Amino acid sequence: MEAAAVPLRSSRRARELLAFAALAGLIATSVLIVAGSEGGLNVLVPAAKLRFPGWLRGPLSGIHSDLNAHGLGWLVAGMGGCYLVALACVDGISARVGIATVVALHVLFLLAPPLISSDVFGYIDIARLGTLHGIDPYSAVTTHLPPDAVHLYRRWGTDIPSPYGPLFTIASYAVVPLGIAGAMWALKVLTAAGSLATIWLVWRCAEKLGRDPLKAALFVGLNPIVLLFAVGGAHNDFFAITLVMAGVYLTIAGRERLSGAALTAAAAFKLPTGLPFAFAFVSARGRRRDLVIGAVLTLVAVAVLSIVTFGSHAGGFLKELREQQNQVAIYSVPNQVGKALGFGGITQGIRIVADVGLAAVVLLALRAAWRGADWIAMAGWATLALLVSTAWLLPWYVTWLLPLAAVSGNRRLKLGALAFATYVVITRVSLWTSLPV
């Protein structure tokens, strides 16, 4: 008995050391990336292409170091490797150490300049159009837009109509009085807070379901896409995802009216994140009436608020979302399939196959949830199918999937989410390293 206990303790000690090394590696690679962002590398801080003022650099400008696109690619790959090792050795991580690491990494990426994307300045631009310039962001106007200093920091033309839901657009108006710098940092703080709130809700959901809350929280909180792309880039996805996970928790807790309200409000921030509502509905059985009441009341409130604010253009974002699907992201799965088949990229036929495949997966998942399968896992599979099938795929969209996979009891879904996240990271790193040194 004693002889058996010694190897057991030795094995656990080894896993603890490996887990500690993985967490240390995550922190080290993250610090090097943030330090490199202060050098103005275009691929890392695209908003700094024309100007890199002190307010954009942020409070960590003193840790500046040189970094090229190839170095960035290796560091992101290192982050991914450390993340996977940490998950494999998660039983060697204490709750205190795990939570402290998640919070520390969020603070680090919060204090960095906006990373990988300049979308945050797109949010600010849209808000300034609707407040300072008196232009409805859901109107069909696409030309003769007024000049604005924010255009120095975004890397594409103004999106009119805005593709974002009315609740986000209206909420974004609140940061305009802070000026461009204040608005950017306010959105970074709110994004980091939304991410941490989502992780907390993941913990609570897992706890409520009798699953390991630390494993679920670290599955989301240590993910490089969450940290570097979503929090680092101050993307608005977490405003919606926090509501989604609040809806999941409220459904588990038997508070269907509030759940219906939260899941519907999520769609009013970012429409695709409303998909889990359908799965909550089919699984609710005798409680569907309350879920629908909460959803309908929220929908009516959002509709009234949108019409009061945007008038006849209140539904303009729906048209823009349809138009967005006509665009093609280089590393979206359908585009890569088209290249692999020798078509040079996505074709109309591939689009149709992808759409039919998505519809089939969603219907089969709904059927499984109706018959008693874990509705959270089924919502996760449907979300994964959505990400695989879309022609317009951006890395931070993976945040729609990770919390659902973390909370579910479905190991295959977790592996699928990790595989897809790995695909997204590898393709993005491939894009960076293909650039001239």
- The tens digit of pLDDT for each residue in 191-248 reads 999 999 999 999 999 999 999 999 999 999 999 999 999 999 999 999 999 999 999 9
Please report the pLDDT score of residue 5 as a whole number: 53
For residue 269, what are the domain limits?
Answer: 2-433
Percent of the chain, pLDDT > 90?
66
Please state the domain count of the chain: 1
One-letter identity of residue 353: V
pLDDT averaged over the chain?
89
Note if the pTM is more than 0.95.
no
Helix (H, G, I), strand (E, B) or coil at 262: helix
Taking only the tens of pLDDT, the chain with its 437 residues reads 454 555 556 677 888 899 999 999 999 999 999 988 877 677 889 888 888 888 998 887 767 677 888 888 899 999 999 999 999 999 999 999 999 999 999 999 999 999 999 999 999 998 998 888 888 888 755 556 788 889 888 876 655 667 888 999 999 999 999 999 999 999 999 999 999 999 999 999 999 999 999 999 999 999 999 999 999 999 999 999 999 999 999 999 999 999 999 999 999 999 899 999 999 999 988 788 999 999 999 999 999 998 888 887 767 667 666 676 677 888 999 999 999 999 999 999 999 999 999 999 999 999 999 999 999 999 999 999 999 999 999 999 999 999 999 999 899 999 999 999 999 999 988 877 776 55
Compute the distance between CA of residue 37 and CA of residue 363 in angstroms, rounded to an integer.
44
**Tokens read off for 296:** 């309908």
Residues 6+ positions from 101 with CB-CB distance below 8 Å:
23, 26, 27, 222
Q: Token pair 């656990």 is at which residue?
A: 12
Compute the distance between CA of residue 134 and CA of residue 173 in angstroms, rounded to an integer.
12
One-letter identity of residue 67: L
| Run of H or E residues at 277 | helix 276-284
Q: Are 44 and 228 in contact (CB under 8 A)?
A: no
Compute the distance between CA of residue 126 and CA of residue 235 in angstroms, rounded to an integer.
14
Helix (H, G, I), strand (E, B) or coil at 159: coil
Picking from 301, 225, 293, 310, the residue whose alpha carbon sits closest to that of residue 255 is: 293
Compute the distance between CA of residue 110 and CA of residue 108 in angstroms, rounded to an integer.
5
- The tens digit of pLDDT for each residue in 389-407 reads 999 999 999 999 999 999 9
